[in-house]
Amino acid sequence: MDRPYIICHMLTSLDGKVIGDYMKVERAAYFTDEYEKIHGRYGCKAWMCGRVTMEEHFTFGHKLDLAQDSIPTIPRMDYVAKKDAKTYVIAVDPSGKVGWTENSIAPWNEHRSEDHIIEVLTEQVSDAYLGHLKKIGISYIFGGKERLNFSLVVEKLKKLFSIDKLMLEGGGFLNGSFLNEGLIDELSLVLVPIADAASNSVTLFETSSYLNKTQPVNFFLKDIEKLDDGGLWMKYVTKRD
């Protein structure tokens, strides 16, 4: 296979919400911890999230002050700052907005390692942002001129960084984009026994308005494990061996 094996690893409420007030309920903390333990058990070399998640949990909304004057044009070519990192974190950031100040994410719990950052960009990104990434040693790859082609992105991740197994931990729209391109091989789903009926909460898979209507994707149950306090860990695959 010319791309990594891709596992979508997510935690949802009973009604399929990936974010929402149910996460603030005290008993949800146990399931968040189980989710992190399972992340570690998979042993993936890389994991991927979108811009919103990165800004919320890692850069905390930090905005870069990038002067636009006298910045030379930087060719839209992939840049590998570190090809031998033990683990990677991949930030899907089409326009180049995440305010990174370092080239790696430090471990934030016992189940995570230090991960070298790879930015996934479109060619619409500014020269100033590319210059900043190069200056602090962040790798970046281009996935398209104006919109991202994730089939191309994951092929580059394998070719340039030798990533054979990728964990997708995106928001619903990122997950939906991968589903739309037929790129999910396995679904690892931690089901929290709490319902959150908020109409504005994002679900496990969402479709952006600019995408063609995706065809239904069949998942087949691979394994199921009962967790404490009424939760479940379910593993599905998209194709039978």
Q: From the CA atom positions of the chain, what is the Rg in Å? A: 18
24 or 7, which is more confident:
7
**What are the tens digits of pLDDT across the range 109-134?**
676 778 999 999 999 999 999 999 99
SS3 of 104, please? strand
- Which pLDDT belongs to residue 240? 67
How large is the average pLDDT for residues 95-120? 87
b/e code 29-58 from CB counts within 10 Å (16+ = b): eebeebbbebbeeeebbbbbbbbbbbbeeb
38 or 210, which is more confident:
38
The span from the CA of 211 to the CA of 195, in Å, is: 29
- Which pLDDT belongs to residue 68? 67
Q: How does residue 98 score in pLDDT terms, banded at 50, 70 and 90?
A: very high
**Residue 70, by phi and psi: left (phi above 0), alpha (psi -120 to 50) or beta?**
left
How large is the average pLDDT for residues 78-103? 95
Element (H, E) at 54: helix 51-54
The span from the CA of 207 to the CA of 172, in Å, is: 8
151 burial level (CB within 10 Å; 0-12, 13-18, 19+): middle
Residue 241 has pLDDT above 70, yes or no: no
Mean pLDDT, rounded, of the chain: 91
Q: How does residue 145 score in pLDDT terms, banded at 50, 70 and 90?
A: very high
Contact 31/209 with Cβ under 8 angstroms?
A: no
What is the DSSP pairing of strand 139-142 with strand 165-168? unpaired
Q: Is the pTM of this model over 0.85?
A: yes
Contact 18/203 with Cβ under 8 angstroms?
A: yes
Of 16-30, 117-131, 189-203, which one has max mean pLDDT?
A: 117-131
